[in-house]
Chain A
Amino acid sequence: MMTQIEPNFRTNAWLLNFGPGLRAAVGTQVLLHIIDDPKIHPVPCTPAHCHSVVSWQGQLLPVLDMASLLDDGPQTHLLLAIAGYQDHTENVTRFGALLISAPPAAIAVGATQSCPLPEQPVGWNKYALSCFDYHDVAIPILNLARIFSPPTNFTQMQADYVVQNLTQNTLEPL
């Protein structure tokens, strides 16, 4: 089943749940669809954290398991969140799918909520743009361009560009 998601006009982020104790957020414009009980297709000789594709609007999108990427062990996932992001290498919009364990929650985030990244898992240093405090829990903001790029293709210059542009947009209060 595919559901078009519509954020509440007062919210500016989606809170994503990747399993027990593993949550992160993206901007409201990032998530496009939630797919329930998705048909995913394993592809051999691919990384453990991104081992399948899903067919979506005529494209085959990579299906990414954040829990596996962060070495948090395999998780049981029920849903796919289709996300769009800017690939600054080629200056195009790309799409990918994130395995999530619960429907995303729309939340309001402001710049005053900025806080340090959680110490665990340590991988957040590589895959988060920044972080905010939400009910006394540090919630990283996903760096989708980094997450969906091969490690060798992501330079520090690109990382700086993404942080400068997306962090401001995502944390700007309404």
Chain B
Amino acid sequence: MNTTPFTQATAISTAAFVTIAGMRLVLSQSEIRALEAASDVDRQEPEQFSVGWIQYLQQRWPTYCLSSELSLLTTIPKERRACILLASGSDHIGILCDEVRIARHNELEQQHELPPVMHLADTPILSLVGLNENDVGCLTDAKQLMTHITRLVKT
């Protein structure tokens, strides 16, 4: 298994840990355009499989609630206290999460490839980050997450 400097495969100068039910997603901070309280999500008339809408730049964007398995939830657990607005090009979506934390520089020194036996064709996980002996982050990006959610909604 290869261990490579974090900056090599997916150049993230500043990353954020987005915690969902104990699972940590690692996202580029530049793709997180806004951080709101979950209570700011407009719950009225949500799109199918979404939980509401979040406002950004005079538009509203569908907001989704994910499990630690990255499956869609239509009932929001009480731990989902925050909402990140993710951007990929001109597309935006909101994702509810428990906590968001900016990564310290020394937390991102090592990146590990997802072991081949774990690599499903449609996984949004790009690689893994060993944070310490007791924690692992799952590196993804806004485009992968949007594609994953779109696939879940269509199926």
B145 to A: closest C-beta gap in Å: 11
- Alpha-carbon gap, A150 to B70, bound state (A): 21
- Alpha-carbon gap, A42 to B122, bound state (A): 17
Which residues of B in the span 101-120 have a Cβ within 8 Å of any Cβ on A?
Answer: 110, 112, 114-120
Q: Find out whether the CB atom of B112 lies under 8 angstroms from the CB atom of A96.
A: no
- Alpha-carbon gap, A45 to B118, bound state (A): 8
Give the interface centre of A45, A51, A59, A61 by most chain B CB atoms within 10 Å. Answer: A45
- Alpha-carbon gap, A64 to B115, bound state (A): 11
Q: Find out whether the CB atom of B134 lies under 8 angstroms from the CB atom of A39.
A: yes
Q: Find out whether the CB atom of B125 lies under 8 angstroms from the CB atom of A47.
A: no
Q: What are 12 contact pairs spanning A and B, CB under 8 A?
A: A43-B114, A45-B122, A46-B118, A46-B119, A50-B117, A55-B133, A59-B3, A62-B115, A96-B115, A148-B117, A149-B117, A150-B117
Q: Find out whether the CB atom of A60 lies under 8 angstroms from the CB atom of B117.
A: no
- Alpha-carbon gap, A47 to B119, bound state (A): 8
A-contact 0/1 string along B77-111, CB 8 Å cutoff = 00000000000000000000000000000000010
Q: Does A153 contact B (CB under 8 A)?
A: yes
Assess A43 versus B117: contact at CB under 8 Å? Given A55-B136, A60-B1. Answer: no
The interface of chain B, by Cβ under 8 A from chain A, is 1, 3, 23, 68-70, 110, 112, 114-120, 122-125, 128, 130, 133-136, 138, 148
The 3 closest A-B pairs by CB, nearest first: A62-B115, A41-B136, A46-B118
- Alpha-carbon gap, A51 to B110, bound state (A): 21
Assess A45 versus B120: contact at CB under 8 Å? Given A55-B130, A60-B112, A61-B1. Answer: yes
Q: Find out whether the CB atom of A44 lies under 8 angstroms from the CB atom of B69.
A: yes
- Alpha-carbon gap, A101 to B59, bound state (A): 54
Q: Find out whether the CB atom of B135 lies under 8 angstroms from the CB atom of A44.
A: no
A127 to B: closest C-beta gap in Å: 12
For A153, the closest partner residue in chain B by CB is: B116
Q: Find out whether the CB atom of B3 lies under 8 angstroms from the CB atom of A150.
A: no
Report A-chain residues with C-beta under 8 Å of the C-beta of B130.
Answer: 55, 58, 60
Give the interface centre of A39, A41, A148 by most chain B CB atoms within 10 Å. Answer: A41
Report A-chain residues with C-beta under 8 Å of the C-beta of B116.
Answer: 148-150, 153
Q: Find out whether the CB atom of B1 lies under 8 angstroms from the CB atom of A39.
A: no
